[in-house]
Amino acid sequence: MQEMVTVTGMVLSQTPIGEYDRRVCILTKERGKISAFAKGARRQNSRLMASTNPFSFGQFKLYQGKTSYNIMEASIDQYYETLREDFVGAYYGMYFLEIADFYTRENNDEIEMLKLLYQSMKALVHPTIDNRLVRCIYEIKAVVVNGEFPGLPSGRTFDDSTIYTVEYIASSSIEKLFTFQVSEKVLLELSDIGNTLRERFFQKEYKSLEILETLIS
């Protein structure tokens, strides 16, 4: 007998299946990263069409079968429509989703990673926060959340403000991360640190990042 479960999470990706269905990857509070099928979600009048797009955050009612989940209903709290209208912001967001997909696992406690993803998306749509800073914070904190943060890269000299900022990112709660601004010098050093961490810990090619870097170069 199938079991109905309700999870809270964000859609990381969706893949077309057959003529009308979708396979959706969701980062959830209750069960870590899961895959679920949304039957008929690609039909024009489907109630699951919008709710199974990337960035959608809310509650998903699922039937849990022996080998897969099936989405029956979705109640979305946030679609992040602003990102859909901001080409550059959207690619920052997609890069964050790709990292979350790479870094998380099924049946693992991913609450902190989901919180980081949620707060980072909020920061991306906030008009006064530099998206480059949001990216730096996300990259550094993602490594911290996963228990792999090695500290500042060795053999380099950093501004005192950069050292303080990294320590703040590492030690602060996720809710307090996107509450400050930094100088251009500090931002460049944070970007260098983020790049170093990505090359060491996010060991794959990110299509969204490749496109993003061509857009902002």
Mean of pLDDT over the chain: 94
Domains contained in the chain, CATH given? 3-78 (2.40.50.140), 81-216 (1.20.1440)
Q: In 79-175, at which residue ranges do the beta strands (DSSP E only) sit?
A: none
- Predicted local distance difference test score (pLDDT) of residue 2: 62
**92 membership: H or E segment, kind and range:** helix 87-103
- Predicted local distance difference test score (pLDDT) of residue 216: 87
Report pTM: 0.94
The distance in angstroms from the start CA to the end CA of the chain is: 54
- Average pLDDT (119-136) is 95
217: pLDDT confidence band, cut at 50, 70 and 90?
A: confident
- Average pLDDT (119-140) is 95
- Predicted local distance difference test score (pLDDT) of residue 67: 79
User: What does the buried/exposed string (b/e) look like for 125-156 if buried means 16 or more CB atoms within 10 Å of the residue's CB?
Assistant: beeebebbbbbbbbbbbbbbbeeebeebeeee
Whether the predicted pLDDT of 145 surpasses 80: yes
